[in-house]
Each structure stands twice: as C-alpha cells, then as structure tokens.
C-alpha cells in the first residue's frame, strides 16, 4: 500500500462516520467515482469496503468523446455494481452481508436512474445495465438490500471516496 493510501486508511478510521462503514460486518460499502480529462481520457474507480477490509480498483473507459460527467458517474456506479456482483458470486464473504450501498457524489443519480428518455441513447444503455445488475442481484440475494445513494455531506473529508477519486485520476494519468 502506498503512503497516500496508508494515510487515507488512517484518516478513514479516525473519522467516526466513515469508520462506521469500515467496521460494519453486515454492510458492504462501495464508494465510486469518475474522472475525465480534456484529452477525452476517462476512468472509473471504486473502493470496496467490508468487515474491516478495503480494496480499490480502477478501470479506464473506452469511448471517443466526452459525454459529460453524469455519464461517467453512471459508468462508475455500473463498475461498482459489477464488482459487487462478482464478490457476491465468487467470494465467500463472511459474515454474510445484509446490505450493500453504492455511494456516489453524483447529485443527479436518482433522476438519472429513473429518467424515461435521454437525448443520447448511451445514457439509457448504462441505466438499463444498472437496473439489470440490480435485478440479477435481487434474484441471487433476495435477503440483501442494495441501494445507490448520493453522498451529500458524507463526501466531505471522506477518505474512502478520496481513494476511489485518486485511483480514477491515476488511471487516466492525472
């Protein structure tokens, strides 16, 4: 673990509201973020937190031009839900989590997930993919509540979100 991650981990444990998600053995917390550049390079990342452990992954996105940060944030939520689906099917998470929350800093996430029409159909494709993953997870784990939540004030000084933010930025070379 590099020194920045080490410092952010210490900060996460030192912040009561954030520490609560780190030590919660009944809930998986996924902090996702998107980063883009003027050179049309884009990436998403997620910090996966469960039962005192955390992991960070990032992925570069491949598309030709900027579709806006809302599109990128939808991609970040999708990336996080894919990771959650893999973890729930491939890993033996102990104790068995009762819930999962995907935290995003996208203030429009609820509107984007329920919007009926988009001017660019690619938004609808990602939204529909998110709903399909949620439906599949609901079938796989009907006893588990899965939510996507805007972070509001929870973002301020949130080291777990900062880890995802830094990973996305590093992935695009910023």
Q: List the domain boundaries for the chain.
A: 3-172
Give the CATH H-level superfamily of domain 3-172: Ribonuclease H-like superfamily/Ribonuclease H (3.30.420.10)
> Rounded to two decimals, what is the model's pTM?
0.94
Output phi, psi for 146, to 5 deg.
Answer: -125, 125
- Order of strands, edge to edge, in the sheet holding 99-104? 53-61, 42-50, 27-36, 99-104, 145-150
pLDDT, tens digit (0-9, with 9 covering 90-100), for 59-107: 999 876 668 899 999 999 999 999 999 999 998 898 999 999 999 999 9
């Amino acid at each position: 673990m590099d020194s920045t991650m080490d410092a952010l981990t210490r900060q996460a444990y030192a912040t009561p509201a954030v520490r609560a998600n780190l030590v919660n053995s009944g809930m998986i917390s996924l902090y996702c973020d998107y980063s883009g550049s003027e050179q049309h390079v884009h990436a998403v990342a997620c910090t996966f937190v469960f039962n005192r452990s955390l992991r960070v992954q990032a992925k570069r996105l491949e598309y030709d031009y900027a579709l806006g940060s809302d599109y990128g944030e939808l991609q970040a939520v999708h990336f996080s839900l894919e990771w959650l689906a893999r973890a729930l099917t491939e890993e033996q998470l102990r104790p068995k989590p009762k819930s999962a929350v995907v935290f995003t800093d996208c203030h429009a996430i609820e509107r984007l997930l329920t919007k009926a029409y988009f001017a660019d159909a690619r938004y609808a494709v990602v939204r529909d993919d998110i709903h399909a993953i949620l439906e599949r997870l609901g079938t796989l784990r009907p006893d588990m509540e899965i939510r996507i939540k805007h972070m509001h004030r929870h973002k301020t000084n949130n080291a777990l979100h900062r880890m995802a933010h830094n990973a996305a930025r590093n992935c695009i070379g910023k």
